[in-house]
Amino acid sequence: MRVRFPRLPFAGQQDGYEIATDKHRHKGTNMSLLEHIHTGRRPSPPRLLIYGTEGIGKSTTAAQAPNPIFIPTEDGLDQIDCASFPLAGKLADVEAALHALMHEKHEFETVVLDSVDWLERLIWDVLCEQYGVSTIEKVDGGYAKGYTHALTHWRKVLNDLNTLRTQRGMCVILLAHAKVEKFEDPEHAAYDRYSPRLHKHATALITEWVDAVLFATRKIITKTEDGGFGRDRTIAAGLGKDGGERVLRTVGSPACVAKNRYDLPGELALSWSALVQALTVNANPARHAQPVENKTPVNTNPKEN
C-alpha cells in the first residue's frame, strides 16, 4: 500500500511560494504572537530510524516507502530495486546528495540514508583529517572531544534532512545496524540491550530528533538443556518460517532501544505496508468519547429535605 505524504511547494520552483512566505512574514510583524499559536495535530512526513542486525530486511523495507531515493554509505543495494545516488565515500558526497534533493526539481517522496553508522565513520574521517590525527580518539587532544565535535556535523545533516521534510514534503528514513551494549540502569543491575551501532552522543541526538526508533529483529524461542558435566546450555530457535518471523519493536524495553510518537502497537510485522497502516490509523484516531451520565444523587430521606 502506497501512502503519499503531503508535498509542500519548493521555494524557487513556484513563484507564488516565495511571495506567500514574504507576505506571511510581513503580516506576522503586525500580529500578536498569540495569533500564531497552533492547536491540534499538524500532519507531517515521518522521520524514522530503523535499525537491526545484518540481512534482517531494513533496506528492503525502506525501498517499499513512497518513491524513495537512497543515499548509500555502504554496499548492499545491488539486489534491491530502488533509485540511489552513487556510493558515498566521504561526507561531502552525502552533503552534495542532500543539497541536490533540496535545490533541484525531482519527484522523490522519501529520502533514505543507508546507513547512519557508516555515515558516522565518514564524519570521523573529516575530523581526523582536520586535526591531522589517525583516530577519532585523538581529535583535539583526545579526552573524547572528537565525539563532541562530530555532533556539529550530525546537526548539519539533520538540518538538511529536516529541510527536505518541511520544504519538500519528504519522508526521512535512517537505517542503522544494531549492537549489543551494556546499559547501566540506575534502578537495577546492569544488563545488555540492543541499540543502534553509533557512539552514544550520536545515538542520543538522533533518537531524540526522529519520530520513531524501530528495532528490526526476529521472533525466537529459547530452551535450556543438559550440556553434560553438570552444566546447562541454552539453545535459541526461530519462531515462525525462514528462521523466525521478522518484526519491528516500536516501544523501548530492557531488550532494545525503541520509541515512537504515534502510539503504535508494541510490535509490527517488518514491512512498509504494516508500518504505514499503523501510522495512518494512529494519525487519524477515532474519537468515540463515551458520554458522561449526569447522575445527581437523589435524597430519599425526607428528614434531610
Q: Percent of the chain beyond pLDDT 90?
A: 63
Q: How are beta strands 212-218 and 47-52 bridged, if at all?
A: parallel
The answer to the question of residue 269 being in a domain is: yes
Domain extent, residue 129, equals 43-225+232-282
**Tell me, what's the pLDDT at 221?**
62
**Tell me, what's the pLDDT at 243?**
54
Report the domain count for the chain.
Answer: 1
Average pLDDT taken over every residue of the chain: 83
The answer to the question of residue 53 being in a domain is: yes
The answer to the question of residue 26 being in a domain is: no
Say how many CA atoms lie within 13 Å of 247 toward its Cβ.
17
The answer to the question of residue 82 being in a domain is: yes
Region 23-37 average pLDDT: 64
Q: What is the pLDDT of residues 55-105, one digit of tens each?
A: 899 999 999 999 999 999 999 898 899 999 999 999 999 999 999 999 999
Q: Exposed, middle or buried: residue 242 (CB in 10 Å: 0-12, 13-18, 19+)?
A: exposed
Strand pairing partners for 191? 183
Contact 235, 225 (CB under 8 A): yes
Instruction: Give CA angle at 166 (163, 170), nearest 5°.
Output: 90
Q: What is the pLDDT of residues 282-293, one digit of tens each?
A: 665 443 334 444
Here the CATH number for the domain that contains residue 131 is 3.40.50
Q: Is the pLDDT of residue 305 over 50?
A: no
Contact 68, 110 (CB under 8 A): yes
- Cα 221 to Cα 102: distance, rounded to the nearest angstrom: 46
The answer to the question of residue 195 being in a domain is: yes
Longest dimension (CA), the chain: 94
